[in-house]
Amino acid sequence: MLRLSEEDFEVPVLYKGKIVNLTARLISGRYAYKIQFDISDMKVDFEKDDEGSWRAMLTENDFQKDHKIDTGMLQAIAESIDDIMK
């Protein structure tokens, strides 16, 4: 079972030449963890894939919303997480 961390934290993301500070939350489980961001009123979870790269995941509900998330923003977030976790 996953549980939310008690505190949010800021992640600086370089996006389109500017630093954007995004609020994130660590969701820890028994064997893995995710980092969750609220982007365009959608919860986006970043987790490691089988190759060790960060991937963005949406719930089916959020996926069906009419909002669009720039893939460049998702890539920038993944790179920022990678930098922080080194």
Nearest CA-CA partner of 58 in 41, 74, 44: 44
What pLDDT, in 10s, does the model give residues 32-55? 889 999 888 888 999 999 999 999
11 membership: H or E segment, kind and range: strand 3-15
Mean pLDDT of 65-69: 71
Please tell me the predicted confidence (pLDDT) of residue 45.
Answer: 94
Q: Which band of pLDDT confidence, cut at 50, 70 and 90, is reported for residue 66?
A: low
Burial class of residue 79 (count of CB atoms within 10 Å of its CB; 0-12, 13-18, 19+): middle
Tokens of 59: 């719930």
- Look up the pTM and report it: 0.83
